């Protein structure tokens, strides 16, 4: 998973390095904003991701492929109708969103709305693979999708460096991801019972009432977590100048290399933690310490590189037009590390079914907006405001998880 994430990340960053050199700083800032909105409006997809992996990890723990197949056949028709409604709403309000964020046209917004709709079902199939710990296939599909994005982006920006054209490179990999994820999940995991027999998976594993309650909790959890991870670019685009947004997009992209690598650690840990949570068990402390240690090592190496040679790194990947306040690059690495360990602790709360974490994450979103509304004059103010927000949130969520463990121990050993 780490290897696949690293390769996919390199291809993803190569995409940005290619298109940013051909586009103006303002146009690239607009593209970055569209990518952030794609992730934010994919909150429904994020909720599906958590919901699917939480349930399929239990089927995997019992090696029940037939039940998993029935679960997917139950889930997809219900999801599809809500996805259509959401897509129509995005189209209706596309001009309003485009105007509020000062986009050059609404074309890019419409394209990412379609990409969001297509990727919805793909998320379900991908999380089936992850729930069954088919990390190699997950990585291969992920790399193939990013390569498609890179190739299409390079071709499109060659013909036109406009955001409305380059944004099509967000749509094409969504189609590729849907096809590949469906094919491999059907081939490796999902089976259909002979002659229409039923496994009774709802009675064996999850009741209808509990699933609906769980879906609601997961939706709110994933919504605020997606906002915490991706709202920064949109806020900066709203409060700052187009040039500042463009420079922030470049610096944060390099900083978030740490986040994307560390998310691979979280992704590997989550299925086991969810299975343990379903059984009423705590995630193993040994695995938790290993996760923290690996994430710290990844962050330390990149932050050191950003501190020692920021000018070289910025100039190498983005060009001389982005060499502004390069001494701040290491702070973007720190900001992303704080966000990654906050994400780890939030996922631990999710695995233990402690959805009080939603309130803390919602508070983080409000603090991000309040901080940027006051401190947005330059890159230094922006990165400090976000870093302080993520640090405070991490401490709060870690304290929540610690109190949860102590309360469980008191109940077990009164």
Is the pLDDT score of 304 beyond 90?
yes
* Phi and psi based region of residue 133 (left: phi greater than 0; alpha: psi -120 to 50; beta: remaining): left
**In whole angstroms, how far apart are CA 127 and each of 65, 180, 401?**
14, 13, 25
Instruction: Pick 74 or 393 by higher pLDDT.
Output: 393
pLDDT bin (cut points 50, 70, 90) of residue 98 is confident
d(CA 270, CA 46): 14
Please, what is the angle between helix 107-131 and helix 43-61, to 10°? Answer: 10
Please name which of 86, 360, 82 lies closest in space to residue 220, comparing C-alpha atoms: 360
Q: What is the pLDDT of residue 33?
A: 76
- Alpha-helical (H) ranges within 132-241 are 135-159, 163-166, 168-188, 201-204, 208-239
Is the pLDDT score of 149 beyond 80?
yes
Q: What is the pLDDT of residue 231?
A: 82
pLDDT bin (cut points 50, 70, 90) of residue 195 is very low
Is the pLDDT score of 16 beyond 90?
no
Q: What is the pLDDT of residue 202?
A: 67
Q: What are the structural domain ranges in the chain?
A: 1-206, 221-404
Average pLDDT across the chain, whole number? 80
pLDDT bin (cut points 50, 70, 90) of residue 273 is low
Is the pLDDT score of 380 beyond 50?
yes
d(CA 377, CA 236): 10
- At residue 383, what are phi and psi to the nearest 5 degrees? -70, -35
Low-confidence winner among 26-35, 153-162, 257-266 (lowest mean pLDDT): 26-35
Max mean pLDDT range (1-5, 132-136, 274-278): 132-136
Q: What is the pLDDT of residue 411?
A: 44
What is the per-residue burial (b if ≥16 Cβ within 10 Å, else e) of 234-265?
bbbbbbbebebbbbbbbbbbbbbbbbbbbbbb
Looking up tokens 């009741």, which residue turns up? 207
Q: What is the pLDDT of residue 388?
A: 93
pLDDT digits (tens, 9 = 90+) for 382-391: 999 999 999 9
- At residue 88, what are phi and psi to the nearest 5 degrees? -65, -40
Low-confidence winner among 163-172, 313-322, 371-380 (lowest mean pLDDT): 313-322
pLDDT digits (tens, 9 = 90+) for 38-78: 776 666 777 777 778 777 877 887 887 777 888 888 888 88
pLDDT bin (cut points 50, 70, 90) of residue 168 is confident
pLDDT digits (tens, 9 = 90+) for 196-249: 456 566 667 666 666 666 677 777 787 788 788 878 888 888 888 878 888 888
DSSP string, 87-106: HHHHHHTHHHHHHHTT-S-S
Q: What is the pLDDT of residue 409?
A: 46
Q: What is the pLDDT of residue 161?
A: 82
């Amino acid at each position: 998973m780490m290897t696949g994430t690293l390769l996919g990340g390199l291809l993803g960053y190569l995409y940005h390095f290619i298109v940013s050199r051909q586009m103006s700083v303002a146009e690239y800032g607009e593209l970055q904003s569209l990518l952030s909105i794609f992730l934010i409006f994919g909150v429904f997809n994020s909720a599906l991701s958590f919901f699917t992996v939480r349930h399929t990890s239990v089927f995997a723990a019992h090696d029940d492929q037939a039940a998993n197949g029935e679960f997917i056949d139950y889930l997809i028709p219900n999801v599809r109708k809500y996805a259509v409604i959401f897509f129509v709403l995005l189209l209706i309000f596309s001009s309003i969103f485009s105007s509020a964020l000062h986009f050059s046209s609404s074309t890019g917004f419409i394209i990412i709305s379609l990409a969001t709709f297509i990727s919805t079902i793909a998320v379900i199939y991908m999380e089936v693979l992850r729930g069954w710990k088919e990390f190699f296939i997950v990585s291969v599909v992920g790399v193939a999708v990013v390569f498609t994005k890179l190739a299409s982006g390079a071709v499109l920006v060659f013909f036109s460096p406009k955001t409305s054209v380059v944004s099509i490179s967000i749509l094409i990999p969504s189609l590729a991801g849907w096809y590949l994820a469906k094919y491999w999940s059907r081939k490796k995991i999902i089976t259909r019972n002979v002659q229409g027999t039923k496994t009774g998976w709802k009675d064996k594993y999850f009741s209808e009432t509990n699933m609906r309650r769980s879906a609601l909790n997961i939706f709110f959890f994933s919504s605020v977590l997606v906002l915490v991870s991706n709202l920064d670019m949109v806020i900066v685009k709203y409060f700052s100048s187009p040039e500042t947004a463009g420079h922030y997009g470049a610096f944060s992209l390099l900083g978030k290399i740490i986040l994307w690598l560390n998310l691979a650690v979280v992704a590997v840990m989550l299925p086991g933690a969810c299975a343990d949570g379903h059984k009423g068990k705590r995630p193993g402390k040994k695995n938790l310490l290993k996760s923290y240690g690996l994430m710290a090592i990844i962050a330390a190496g990149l932050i050191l590189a950003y501190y020692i040679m920021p000018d070289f790194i910025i100039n190498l990947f983005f060009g001389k037009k982005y060499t502004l306040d390069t001494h701040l690059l290491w702070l973007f690495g720190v900001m992303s590390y704080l966000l990654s360990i906050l994400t780890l602790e939030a996922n631990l709360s999710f695995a233990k079914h402690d959805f009080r974490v939603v309130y803390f994450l919602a508070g983080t979103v409000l603090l991000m907006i309040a901080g940027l509304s006051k401190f947005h004059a330059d890159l230094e103010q922006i990165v400090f405001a976000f870093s302080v927000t993520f640090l405070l949130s991490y401490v709060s969520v870690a304290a929540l998880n610690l109190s949860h463990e102590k309360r469980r121990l008191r109940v077990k050993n009164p």
